[in-house]
A and B are shown apart, each in its own frame.
Chain A
Amino acid sequence: MDIISQLQEQVNSIANLALNTIGTLQRDAPPNRLSPNYPEPPAHPTEDGANFSEEPKLMSASLVKAAKQFDVLVASLPISETGEEAQLKRIAELQAENDAVGQELQKQLEAAEMELNQVQELYRQATDNCLNLKKPDVN
């Protein structure tokens, strides 16, 4: 896959990770005490207790990892610092060079064609002469 598509996919996966991280944390967070006036919220069931403190670490680790991966991909962008005008100028140069080479090729081809015809003519004459020399005696 080309680098730009990879970068776009990476952005999308960062978005997904952020969504899952925030959403999961919000959904699974134990109730918090709002004010000293209210009683302590009911104790959180212990089955989730051990896992819950691990979840944020894991999820944030993968989020940061994805962000670092994005940076790595950006670093591998094969972009020269040249802007649009420099590229267009280079394209114009290359086009001119291509035209010149094309004309040269055309000239050479025509000259080679002519020489080919000359050689073929020579062969024709040579074979004619051979045949004339070898004309059998009729009598």
Chain B
Amino acid sequence: MKIVTSDVLPSLEEQGVRQLYSKGPNVDFKKELRSLNSELQLHILELADILIERPSQYARRIEEISTVFKNLHHLLNSLHPHQARSTLIHIMELQIKRRKQALEDIKRRREVAQRILNESLATLDGH
């Protein structure tokens, strides 16, 4: 049986937003989040600068800042499936542990019961 999870998060391209972080199957979330954060700070600084030098050029900076924010939120949203799978793995590990303990319990008690039974039968036969 093959297990798949289907993600319902539309990709950034589908929403018409430029994707700033590298694509590919395994995204290094922490690295990309941190680099997006730095890029954001840089853009805010540039905005402050351009408002001093050439205030009429603000629109492009605002658009870049907005793109960075959208990328940040999209990246964070795509962490949810990962989190869901991690939670599932954790729950399954706990369940297996519980069941194995129950198994040991049953085996032990059966052994004890068998022993008591044998002892009592031996006692009875002794008469």
Contacts and interface: CB of A to CB of B under 8 A. Distances in A.
At the interface, is chain B mostly helix, strand, loop or mixed? helix
Interface in B63-110: 65, 69, 72-73, 76, 79-83, 85-86, 88-89, 92-93, 95-96, 99-100, 102-103, 106-107, 109-110
A105 B3 contact: no
Given A87-B89, A98-B96, A101-B96, A22 B82 contact: no
Interface in B1-48: 1, 3-5, 25-26, 28-30, 33-34, 37, 40-41, 44, 47-48
Interface string A25-48: 110000000000000000000000
A25 B58 CA distance: 14
Contacts of B57: none
How would you classify the secondary structure of chain A's contact residues: helix, strand, loop or mixed? helix
B113 A115 contact: yes
Given A77-B29, A83-B25, A105-B102, A94 B92 contact: yes
A15 B95 contact: no
Contact of A87 (B51, B72, B82, B100): B82
Nearest to A73: B33
A77 B88 contact: no
B69 A11 contact: yes
Interface residues of B, number: 47
Interface in A63-101: 63-64, 67, 70-71, 74-75, 77-79, 81, 83-85, 87-88, 90-92, 94-95, 97-98, 101
Given A22-B51, A101-B96, 10 more contacts: A2-B83, A18-B65, A67-B37, A79-B86, A94-B89, A95-B92, A105-B102, A108-B103, A108-B110, A115-B113
19 contacts: A7-B76, A18-B44, A18-B65, A21-B44, A70-B37, A79-B30, A79-B82, A81-B26, A87-B89, A91-B85, A91-B89, A92-B1, A95-B3, A98-B96, A98-B99, A101-B96, A108-B110, A111-B110, A112-B106
Interface of B: 1, 3-5, 25-26, 28-30, 33-34, 37, 40-41, 44, 47-48, 51, 65, 69, 72-73, 76, 79-83, 85-86, 88-89, 92-93, 95-96, 99-100, 102-103, 106-107, 109-110, 113-114, 117
